Structure 1
Amino acid sequence: AFIALFVSRDLGFEFGGWLLIHGVTELFAIVIAGGAGMRVGWAIANPGDLSRLGAAAQASRSAALALGGVIIMLFIAGLLEGFGRQLITIDALRYLIAIASALFWGAYFYAGARRRRV
């Protein structure tokens, strides 16, 4: 309904730029936080040779590391929302920042995944 309101007033493009400048980073952070929670849940459901508590504790250590990164990402998103969204009024520049953020986070996590597999 909120998006439809902006689109009905021919402000859809502006709304997208207003939202995406910080939303891209937030969405990446949400996905990572969800993955960290799923890792702990999977360890509890399938503990293997460990006790459920031991498996949860082991998975929680790596999840906590991931959530430390999520905190940093949400801080960056907050700065973009608090300052960038208000100070940058050119919609094309907002979209450029959103695209750059998506490329940066995508490359950062892709490089980390490749390094981990090697």
Structure 2
Amino acid sequence: MHYYGHLFVTEWLDVLWLLLTPLIVHKKQLWKALAFMVLCMLVLRLQVEIVQSTGYSTGFTGLLDWPLMYRGFGVYGFFCALYLLLSYFSPYTRGAIYLAASLSIFFMAFTVSSIVLII
């Protein structure tokens, strides 16, 4: 069990956001919120693979000793929490406005995580 617990924490910790999403967001926002979480999970893994494929397992500068996945969990975790918090406190935001807000937060998360992974 210890091995699987360690594997979950090091590789799949962000799945918890998928489990929390239906509990926090409003009914009409659910599918877009789930798509946001899945997109963040996939892009994080792609970013980590791209940086690791260059041969730098701790980023290009080596200033941070954390593994890349932990850094990504921290950055995307912050933006996922922010996204869920904003979704909870804006129950009447739907349609194109909610989608635009989702994309804005996603691109902020992508940009910040790219910088943090490179450092």
More helix by share: 1
Instruction: Flag the structure with larger Rg.
Output: 1
TM-score, normalised via structure 1 length: 0.44
TM-score, normalised via structure 2 length: 0.43
